[in-house]
Amino acid sequence: MDLLVVGSGLIGTSIGLALRGQLDVALHDPSAASLEVALGRGAGRRWDGQEAFAHCLVAAPPSAVAGVLASLPTGGTFSHVASVQRAVQASLEEAGVDVTTVCGSHPMAGKEQSGPAAATAELFVGRPWVLCPSASTSAAALEAVRAVAVACGAEPLVMTAEEHDAAVALVSHLPQVAASAVAAVLGGTGGSLDLAGPGLQDTTRIAGSNPALWVEVLRQNAAAVAPLVRELSAELAGAADALDRGDLDAVEQLLRRGNDGRGRVPRKRGEHDRDFVPVSVSVPDEPGQLAGVLVSAAQAGINVEDVRVEHLPGRPTGVIELLVHLDAQAEARRALAAAGWEVVRA
């Protein structure tokens, strides 16, 4: 299969890089500067504006997909990688595109940076890549974008556009709006944040995301996101009222429902947070300590799921927290202590 990728941003360029050596990929972008960066990184060859392809993938913002797609040579199949699906399906119908030739899709991968310079061949490896055929989509169009997803190392997953939009509203768009709103309240008070700890760091991390990109996503999925944001607002209004009238039972119920919801957030596919436990080691806060602890863990055959580093500002010590599987906790503690590390008693 030969492939035209239109759009050399983070996603389009990463697709080109991932397919290098597998498929004949041509690239195009209305921004010559962006295209040059992508071509320079080896993400594909330049499109002459005429050549037709077996499959064309449009990696453009959701609102631009229909216009771009309608302008391409017909004859092959088409896909896009928009982060919202219903609005794009509707726009294709309005634009008079032959929708039997088109399959929407959405690779669940991204990063805080954007543009071709941030692209990587590994961006999609092991990630879900949602395929959203409409009722009209041909099998050929579906199979073409499935082949692209598989060739990029992703795991294809078929959903309707409605299912997709509801799922991303819940796991991605709602948390984004929530984190932004928490950070906006923090910023707006003018109060001191000097006492902030890791909890605040985590809760507001994605509030650093690009507003211009996010507002387009939220515009296109407003119908799915608005009810969730309103429900969150109502939960919080209920909590504020309960605090005001001293009904702490209601507050405790909210915290308990939060525990339950948190328990449902997947960590790896099929595994949940509660399967992993911390093992903490106290170390001097200097280069090489983190490596040393992990070398000891590796030598003992302990698989470290995740690492958290707690710096102690202005002090010569830090705490390294290794997240290990519950079954490996005792062995990890034993092995690290045996290797001479100061394991913090759990």
Cα(89)–Cα(209) distance, integer angstroms: 26
Least distance to a second copy, CB of residue 127, Å = 7
**Residue with Cβ nearer a second copy (52 or 309):** 309
**Residue with Cβ nearer a second copy (72 or 324):** 324
**Residue with Cβ nearer a second copy (120 or 136):** 120
Least distance to a second copy, CB of residue 272, Å = 10
Least distance to a second copy, CB of residue 271, Å = 9
Least distance to a second copy, CB of residue 12, Å = 15
**Residue with Cβ nearer a second copy (248 or 337):** 248
Least distance to a second copy, CB of residue 294, Å = 3
Query: Which residues is 57 bridged to in the sheet?
Result: 5, 79
Least distance to a second copy, CB of residue 277, Å = 10
**Residue with Cβ nearer a second copy (37 or 60):** 37
**Residue with Cβ nearer a second copy (17 or 26):** 17
Least distance to a second copy, CB of residue 5, Å = 18
**Residue with Cβ nearer a second copy (74 or 113):** 113
**Residue with Cβ nearer a second copy (65 or 178):** 178
Least distance to a second copy, CB of residue 156, Å = 13
Q: Which residues contact 319 (CB under 8 A, 6 or more apart)?
A: 280, 281, 282, 283, 309, 310, 312, 344
Cα(97)–Cα(103) distance, integer angstroms: 12
